[in-house]
Amino acid sequence: MQLHAAIDEFILYIEMKKITRLILVTSYEYDLQLFLTFLTDHGCSTCLNEITKTQVRRFIQYL
């Protein structure tokens, strides 16, 4: 599964379950889209099975 599809499914899930407030949903979506852009800009795969801990750490450092 590609990250962009997983983001869409996650946002839809939390909206439907009313797990969080709208502001948190918006924040989650923004952060995940930023991560997707980071991966794309750095030539990394956006397939969930291929995202590594190192890439996540580098994203956090980037922030």
The whole-chain average pLDDT of the chain stands at 90
Question: Would the pLDDT of 19 be above 70?
Answer: no
Q: Whole-prediction pTM value?
A: 0.77
What is the distance of C-alpha 20 from the center of its chain?
A: 16
pLDDT score, position 53: 96
Per-residue confidence (pLDDT) for residue 38, from 0 to 100? 97
Instruction: Report the chain's terminal Cα–Cα distance, integer Å.
Output: 25
**CA 4, CA 37: separation in Å to the nearest integer?**
10
Query: What residues does each domain of the chain span?
Result: 3-62
